Amino acid sequence: MTLLKKKQFDELVAEKSNYCVSIYIPTHKSGENKDSMIRLKNQVSKIEDELIELGVKQKDIFNYVEPINKLIQDTTFWRYLSDSLVIFRSKETFVYRTLPIETEDFSMVSDRFYLLPLLSVFNNDDKFYILQLSLKKNRLFEANQYEFNEIPTEDHMPQSLKDAVGWDVKQKTLQYRSGQSRGGHGLYHGQGEGKDDKEKETLKYLHMVDDGLSDLIDDKSIPLIIASVEEICSHFKQISSYNNIYHKYVLGNHDNGDMDKVHQQACELLQPYFERVRNESKEKYAETNLRITSDLNELLIAANGGRIDTLFVGKNKHIWGNFDVDKGTMKVHEEKESMDYCLMDFAAKSTFQKGGNVFLEEVEDLPVSEAPANAILRY
């Protein structure tokens, strides 16, 4: 199942209706997930009770929860999950996704969907590339912490060392100099080659792959992590013009390997890169005295007005109430009241929709942990 795309996220943000149901269930990547099924059943019962209190007719309640109940009964579905199941249901919408993010057991009925936990999926600062490379096969993937997609490369680089022979001929027909690639390196191939010629062929092939990367990737500042044996990794890094090859590799021959595992290993190696922007933003918060706020009402006004550059929000922190966007005033309740929504969710969605960065933090890791959220303001 694919991740929620940005367009779908925007559609969920935009939807406002009488009864928007949001459900988050922790799940397991393997097994029957019986405990998760029970959690979902309990949340459905809770939602039914809330809808009854809101005066919704029993027939309409049945129609609301029917597709969710069908999901509960689908035993095959529960065997192929990730870390969480999220469900969004309204009169016009039924969306569910299994996501590789940790969430709490949670549901909400309001006039809008609760989307705060999903924002970590759309963090633009965790993009990277994976180059699976060997003499017999190469593949390029665009990735972030949660998913990866293969980029077609057939028109830009040879697919193997053997393919490089035909590729070199093909390039000559496209007005490249005879025996030369764009980098000016001749290809050596024929019967009875010696060890030196084998090495020259390998280097030539790697140069061709590097030329292809130059065509395919515009922003060379995005990290590229190589998945290959150590010798190939070392050779490619030496000859490559790509200026941000990550200093650690996913070592091994991955020609027929599980790319899910390669992606997972790459993410583990890249953790310092993922944390860089977050940590830099925290340092900026500590150093910026005039353009920061932890005051909830000021923060909501700034978020609604597009004035937040970076927002830090405590994980699983809910402030229930509502915010009057015209008057710039809020009402906060100790416990969720009928049709309340989470003000942290409102602030985060508003910040993200207006181009700001949103980081979900453990409460103790917030720049100012006494407040539920902290913001660096643009002005």
- Secondary structure, 3-state, the chain: CCCCCHHHHHHHHHCCCCCEEEEEEECCCCCCCHHHHHHHHHHHHHHHHHHHHCCCCHHHHHHHHHHHHHHHHCCCHHHCCCCEEEEEECCCCEEEEEECCCCCCEEEEECCCCCHHHHHHHCHHHCEEEEEECCCCEEEEEECCCCEEEECCCCCCCCCHHHHHHHHHHHHHCCCCCCCCCCCCCCCCCCCCCHHHHHHHHHHHHHHHHHHHHHHCCCCCCCEEEEECHHHHHHHHHHCCCCCECCCCEECCCCCCCHHHHHHHHHHHCHHHHHHHHHHHHHHHHHCCCCEECCHHHHHHHHHCCCEEEEEEECCCCCEEEEECCCCEEEEECCCCCCCEEHHHHHHHHHHHCCCEEEEECHHHCCCCCCCEEEEECC
For residues 209 and 133, the answer to whether their CB atoms sit within 8 Å is yes
Mean pLDDT, residues 3-23: 91
CA-to-CA separations, 39 to 35, 100, 174, 280, 315, in angstroms, rounded: 6, 18, 61, 38, 20
Residues forming a β-bridge with 357: 310
State what percent of residues in the chain have pLDDT above 70: 90
Question: Which residues fall within 8 angstroms of residue 131, CB to CB, at 6 or more apart?
Answer: 138, 139, 140, 141, 209, 213, 224, 225, 226, 227, 228, 236
Gap between the Cα atoms of 20 and 88, Å rounded: 7
| Boundary-marking domain end, from 73, 91, 114 | 114
- Domain's final residue, options 269, 302, 331: 269
247, 273 Cβ separation under 8 angstroms:
no
Sign of CA dihedral 344, 18, 104, 336: positive
Q: Are residues 70 and 158 in the same domain?
A: no
Cross-strand partners of 148: 143
- Is 307 a domain residue? yes
The verdict on 262 and 146 lying in the same domain is: yes
Average per-residue pLDDT in the chain? 89
Give the integer Cα–Cα distance in Å for 226 and 235.
11
Separation of alpha carbons 230 and 250, rounded Å:
9
CATH code of the domain covering residue 321: 3.30.1330.30
Average pLDDT over every residue of 114-119: 94
CATH number at residue 131: 3.30.420.60
Do 310 and 234 share a domain, yes or no? Answer: no
- Of the three residues 114, 138, 169, the one that is the final residue of a domain is 114
Averaged pLDDT, 6-14 = 91
Q: Are residues 227 and 301 in the same domain?
A: no
- pLDDT score of 280: 84
Confidence band, pLDDT 50/70/90 cuts, at residue 123:
low
Question: Is 12 inside a domain boundary?
Answer: yes
Total number of domains in the chain? 3
Look up the domain containing 129 and give its range.
124-269
198 within domain boundaries = yes
pLDDT for 177: 44
| Look-up of token digits 């579905």 | 77
pLDDT of residue 77: 93
Whether residue 297 sits in one domain with residue 202: no
pLDDT in the model for residue 193: 52
pLDDT at 110: 97
Q: 92 with 133, same domain? A: no
> Would residue 35 count as lying in a domain?
yes
pLDDT above 90 covers what percent of the chain? 73
**Chain segment 202-227, per-residue pLDDT in tens:** 999 999 999 999 999 999 999 999 99
Pair (264, 134) in one structural domain: yes
Q: Are strands 329-333 and 250-251 parallel, antiparallel or unpaired?
A: unpaired
Identify whether residues 198 and 145 lie together within a single domain: yes
Q: 192-217 in b/e burial notation, b at 16+ Cβ within 10 A?
A: eeeeeeeebbbbbbbbbbbbbbbebb
Q: Is it the case that residue 186 has pLDDT exceeding 90?
A: no
User: pLDDT, tens digit, for every residue of 33-86?
Assistant: 999 999 999 999 999 999 999 999 999 999 999 999 999 999 999 998 999 999
Whether residues 85 and 195 fall in one domain: no
Does the residue 275 lie in any domain?
A: no
Instruction: Please tell me whether residues 216 and 331 are part of one structural domain.
Output: no
Give the pLDDT of residue 30. Answer: 86
| pLDDT (0 to 100) of residue 191 | 46
Domain-located, residue 1: no
Q: How confident is the model at residue 124 (pLDDT cuts 50, 70, 90)?
A: low
Tens of pLDDT, residue by residue over 21-39, are 999 999 998 888 999 999 9
Residues 361 and 318 in one domain: yes
From 120-134, 197-211, 248-262, the region with the lowest mean pLDDT: 120-134
Same-domain status, 264 and 165:
yes
More confident residue, 256 or 6: 256
From residue 330, alpha-carbon distances to 295, 296, 297, 338, 340 in Å are 12, 9, 7, 16, 11
d(CA 291, CA 376) in angstroms, rounded, equals 6
Give domain status of residue 119, yes or no. Answer: no
| Residue 192: per-residue pLDDT | 45
Nearest C-alpha neighbor of 207 from the set 251, 164, 146: 164
We report the CATH number of the domain holding residue 12 as 3.30.960.10
Tens of pLDDT, residue by residue over 275-318, are 887 888 888 888 876 699 999 999 999 999 999 999 999 998 99
Q: Is residue 274 part of a domain?
A: no
Specify the range with the lowest mean pLDDT, choosing from 127-131, 179-183, 327-331, 361-365: 179-183
